Amino acid sequence: MLDQSWNGPIDCDHFAREKAAAALEFVRQKADPLADVRQKADPLADVRAKAETGDAQAQFILGYAYRFGDDVEKDLVEAVKWYRKAAEQGHAMAQTTLGSAYSYGVWVKKDPTESAKWYRKAAEQEAGVTINK
């Protein structure tokens, strides 16, 4: 039997939002039963582990994370460290990033020689960088 004792207005939007949120959480848990654990852990743990073993792409990602403060506290010294490790292994985007940083003096001291070095390495890989001689 339907309870008809409530005569107040029904907030359909609120009810729909609650149901949608509950459904989304249910699907998320089914798709990834460890989702709550992952949210509490270091979100960059896997990337950091790969970076520390020499994976250039992971090093680039870690540099980016430190540069912009994505999932870690912003730390430009750490950003340069990881970008440099990736660049030294031939990662073209890391080389271009360092070239730009040294060219404009953003988050590192302006250094035209260092800038040219990294831009040249990226250009040698045809990374979309043009060097005017």
pTM above 0.85, yes or no: no
Q: How confident is the model at residue 37 (pLDDT cuts 50, 70, 90)?
A: very low
The CA distance from 15 to 71, in Å, is: 33
Which pLDDT score, from 0 to 100, does residue 125 have? 80
Over 90: is that where the pLDDT of 53 sits? yes
The CA distance from 110 to 118, in Å, is: 13
Average pLDDT (76-98) is 95
3 state SS of 84: helix
Which pLDDT score, from 0 to 100, does residue 46 have? 87
Over 50: is that where the pLDDT of 132 sits? yes
Cα torsion 58, 60, 64, 67 to 10°: value is 120
pLDDT > 70: percent of the chain: 63
Q: How confident is the model at residue 71 (pLDDT cuts 50, 70, 90)?
A: confident
Average pLDDT (100-112) is 92
Over 80: is that where the pLDDT of 23 sits? no
CA distances from 87 to 1, 28, 80, 125 (A): 71, 37, 10, 12
